[in-house]
């Protein structure tokens, strides 16, 4: 069983244990075990198991080591199968209803025999739920509402879509006269590929006008809560947003708290406790003495911090960028001042893998180049589809030769300061051969190879297919490694670690496809891959001029993957990129 499959089993065990009323700390152990596993590399897991060193990983004790090993070697886990058989399958999906947790679900099941969302809806309609002890009319109404909204609003949203809504709101909040500081927090600020809801943290002198402004924003469909310090709204798209207003002295602590992640916060609070301090969204106060952290903060016992940098410094840590706050070793690295200097949008000097009207793009070569120049890029790579991608108007040999001529003419004309590279997004055929012959590929500056068909091949076939393409001497880059579309389609079955190994061995770049729907390869792979020597390129895969901006989303993912400028080919100046590409052609 693969590492991700094992991680899924561990988190499912966590859910099942919750429903069976287990010790919450035991549940947490399975959940954190699942996350630790997800952050690991496939090959590393195999190595640790073979060497009997799995227990050296933090969070893996005897029980988890035994269970992970059993899953990895046999593909089964008797404990899991028995646990699963002991719990009604419909109970887990009931957890998706807001307001329903394990305790309430168990009460519904034991007292009313409810074991599915459908049965729950029926019981509500008959008024049975409201009569239960610990429940009431309001709870029942909330459940009915939750069931109704589940389909429409239950899903997550692309980071890009969420950022487009959040940006104007933060700007608008900052422009209000009552507002001293305003930021968005949550998974949006951490640069997660998808976002559940928006969080805005505001320091303001006068609350009411700010709340009134917020709930009146365009696109707000419904105001779900409106109080003294907090308001919640739902937008037309189903996206929810929370606004929290705090006194100026608390702003930094609230911002940090609501940025998360949960794992990061837990670890940082433990670190504070070890230093005799207690951290919360209210402040950083001495742990000893009577009273809650909130009370101590209000008595002026909290550290005064004007920035998150000062908050981290008080805990003897260097500043941890929000993108790294996932509880995956960033605190340990910050302790030794060993955090990487993450790549930034301004580091990019160009981009490869862009389409034009020659294949399925919506802007011409000149329009795309002008847009690249407007971004200040030194170079710009064209990579239109190859002939096998018939549905995308893939170029024939003749049309590609013609395009090469056009690019050379454009460069010679000096119409743009941006240098244009000739390239192709060449299909990897089902057996791993490339869609153009070597003579033609050799005429190009670079070659991106991608899978666009036969997605359902089994893992061994797909992995061998992609590796064969990587081993082709004229291949420069691998496009969208897994082919996933976020919130729509899983990637194809492929052994990512083996593909990464092949790319390193053959000096081939694996692109970080920056299209907001793709963000492929996932950020969880990059840190280890880069440590092993993988080079990437943040590629917009733009099909129109506006698509070039997608590199912003790609930079987020690179930062979440701990990547520095040195790991990213398209941060290099033109002369160095020319040399790198030419070296690939020897």
Partner DNA sequence: GCCGTTTTCGGCCCGACTGTTTTCAGTCG
HSE-up of residue 370 (Cα within 13 Å, Cβ side): 7
Task: Work out whether 23 is an interface residue with DNA (CB under 7 A).
Answer: yes
- As measured in angstroms, the least distance from the Cβ of 409 to DNA is 55
CB nearer DNA, residue 259 or residue 418:
259
Distance CA 36, CA 38 (A): 6
CB nearer DNA, residue 281 or residue 425:
281
**DSSP structure class, residue 139:** H
CB nearer DNA, residue 16 or residue 503:
16
Which residue in the set 133, 151, 337, 583 belongs to the binding site for DNA (CB under 7 A)? Answer: 133
- Scan residues 281-340 and list those touching DNA (CB under 7 A): 281-282, 287, 292-294
Which runs of E-coded beta strand occur in 102-187? 157-158, 179-184
Asked if 378 and 418 touch (Cβ cutoff 8 Å), the reply is: yes
Which runs of E-coded beta strand occur in 320-450? 350-351, 379-381, 384-385, 419-421, 423-427, 446-450
CB nearer DNA, residue 175 or residue 208:
208
Task: Work out whether 517 is an interface residue with DNA (CB under 7 A).
Answer: no
CB nearer DNA, residue 139 or residue 493:
139
Residue with tokens 């409810």: 114
CB nearer DNA, residue 109 or residue 572:
109
CB nearer DNA, residue 287 or residue 464:
287
Which residue in the set 229, 307, 402, 417 belongs to the binding site for DNA (CB under 7 A)? Answer: 229
Task: Work out whether 262 is an interface residue with DNA (CB under 7 A).
Answer: yes
**DSSP structure class, residue 138:** H
- As measured in angstroms, the least distance from the Cβ of 501 to DNA is 29
CB nearer DNA, residue 126 or residue 438:
126
# of chain residues touching DNA (CB under 7 A) = 58
- As measured in angstroms, the least distance from the Cβ of 235 to DNA is 16
The pair phi, psi for residue 149, each rounded to 5°, is -80, -15
Asked if 446 and 381 touch (Cβ cutoff 8 Å), the reply is: yes
Task: Work out whether 235 is an interface residue with DNA (CB under 7 A).
Answer: no
> What is the sign, positive or negative, of the torsion defined by CA atoms of 357, 399, 548, 539?
positive
- As measured in angstroms, the least distance from the Cβ of 174 to DNA is 22
Residues 224, 227, 230, 236, Cα dihedral to 10°: 20
Task: Work out whether 250 is an interface residue with DNA (CB under 7 A).
Answer: no
- As measured in angstroms, the least distance from the Cβ of 336 to DNA is 14
Which residue in the set 30, 160, 379, 562 belongs to the binding site for DNA (CB under 7 A)? Answer: 30
Q: Quick one: which of 58, 79, 82 has its CA closest to 70?
A: 79
Asked if 508 and 475 touch (Cβ cutoff 8 Å), the reply is: yes
Neighbours of 58 (CB within 10 A): 10
- Scan residues 56-115 and list those touching DNA (CB under 7 A): 58-65, 95, 97-105
Q: Could you tell me the CA-to-CA distances from 200 to 255, 263, 348 in Å, in that order?
A: 9, 20, 29
Q: Could you tell me the CA-to-CA distances from 410 to 396, 403, 414, 487 in Å, in that order?
A: 21, 10, 7, 39
Q: Which stretch binds DNA (CB under 7 A): 158-166, 265-273, 434-442, 521-529?
A: 265-273
Residue with tokens 């590409």: 581
CB nearer DNA, residue 204 or residue 462:
204
Asked if 539 and 549 touch (Cβ cutoff 8 Å), the reply is: no
CB nearer DNA, residue 154 or residue 473:
154
Which residue in the set 183, 199, 330, 522 belongs to the binding site for DNA (CB under 7 A)? Answer: 199
- As measured in angstroms, the least distance from the Cβ of 25 to DNA is 3
Residues that bind DNA (CB under 7 A): 23, 25-26, 28-30, 33, 58-65, 95, 97-105, 130, 133-140, 142, 186, 197, 199, 225, 227, 229-230, 258, 262, 265-266, 269-270, 273, 278-282, 287, 292-294
């Amino acid at each position: 069983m693969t590492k991700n499959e094992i991680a899924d089993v561990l988190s499912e065990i966590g859910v099942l244990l919750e429903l069976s009323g287990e010790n919450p700390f035991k549940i947490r152990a399975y959940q954190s075990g699942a996350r630790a596993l997800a952050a690991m590399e496939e090959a590393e897991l195999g190595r640790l198991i073979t060497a009997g060193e799995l227990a050296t990983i933090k969070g893996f004790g005897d029980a988890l080591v035994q269970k992970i090993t059993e899953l990895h070697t046999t593909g089964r886990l008797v404990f899991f199968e028995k646990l699963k058989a002991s719990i009604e399958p419909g109970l887990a999906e009931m957890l998706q209803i807001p307001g329903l947790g394990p305790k309430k679900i168990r009460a519904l099941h034991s007292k009313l025999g409810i074991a599915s969302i459908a049965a729950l809806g029926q019981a509500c309609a008959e008024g049975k739920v409201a009569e239960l002890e610990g429940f009431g009319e309001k709870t029942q109404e909330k459940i009915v509402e939750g069931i109704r909204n589940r389909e429409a609003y239950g899903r997550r949203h692309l980071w890009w879509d969420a950022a487009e809504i959040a940006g104007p709101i933060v700007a608008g909040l900052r422009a209000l006269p009552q507002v001293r500081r305003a930021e968005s927090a949550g998974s949006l600020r951490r640069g997660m590929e998808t976002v559940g809801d928006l969080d805005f943290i505001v320091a303001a002198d006068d609350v009411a006008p700010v709340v009134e402004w917020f709930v009146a924003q365009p696109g707000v469909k419904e105001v779900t809560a409106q109080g003294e310090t907090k308001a919640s709204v739902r937008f037309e798209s189903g996206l929810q947003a929370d606004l929290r207003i705090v006194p100026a002295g608390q702003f930094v602590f609230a911002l940090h708290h609501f940025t998360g992640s949960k794992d990061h916060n837990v670890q940082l609070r433990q670190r504070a406790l070890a230093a005799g301090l207690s951290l919360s969204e209210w402040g950083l106060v001495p742990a000893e003495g009577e009273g809650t952290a909130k009370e101590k903060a209000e008595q002026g016992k909290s550290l005064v911090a004007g920035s998150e940098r000062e908050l981290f410094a008080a805990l003897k840590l260097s500043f941890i960028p929000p993108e790294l706050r996932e509880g995956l070793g960033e605190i340990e690295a910050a302790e030794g001042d060993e955090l990487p200097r993450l790549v930034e949008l301004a580091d990019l000097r160009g981009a490869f893998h862009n389409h034009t009207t020659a294949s399925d793009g919506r802007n011409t070569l000149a329009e795309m180049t002008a847009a690249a120049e407007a971004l200040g890029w030194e170079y710009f790579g064209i990579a239109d589809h190859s002939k096998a991608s018939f549905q995308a108007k893939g170029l024939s040999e003749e049309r590609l030769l013609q395009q090469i001529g056009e690019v050379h003419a454009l460069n010679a004309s000096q119409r743009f300061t941006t240098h244009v590279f000739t390239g192709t997004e060449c299909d990897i055929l089902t057996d791993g051969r490339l869609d153009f012959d070597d003579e033609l590929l050799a005429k190009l500056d670079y070659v991106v190879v991608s899978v666009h068909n036969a997605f359902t091949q089994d893992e061994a076939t797909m992995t061998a297919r992609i590796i064969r393409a990587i081993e082709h001497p004229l291949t420069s880059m691998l496009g969208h490694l897994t082919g996933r579309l976020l919130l729509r389609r899983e990637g194809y079955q492929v052994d990512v670690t083996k593909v990464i190994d092949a790319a390193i061995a053959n000096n081939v770049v694996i692109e970080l496809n920056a299209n907001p729907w793709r963000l492929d390869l996932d950020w969880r792979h990059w840190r280890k891959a880069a440590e092993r020597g993988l080079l990437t390129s943040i590629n917009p895969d733009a099909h129109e001029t506006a698509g070039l901006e997608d590199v912003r989303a790609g930079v987020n993912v690179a930062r979440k993957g701990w990547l520095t400028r040195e790991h990213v080919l398209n941060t290099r100046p033109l002369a160095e990129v020319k040399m790198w590409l030419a070296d690939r052609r020897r």
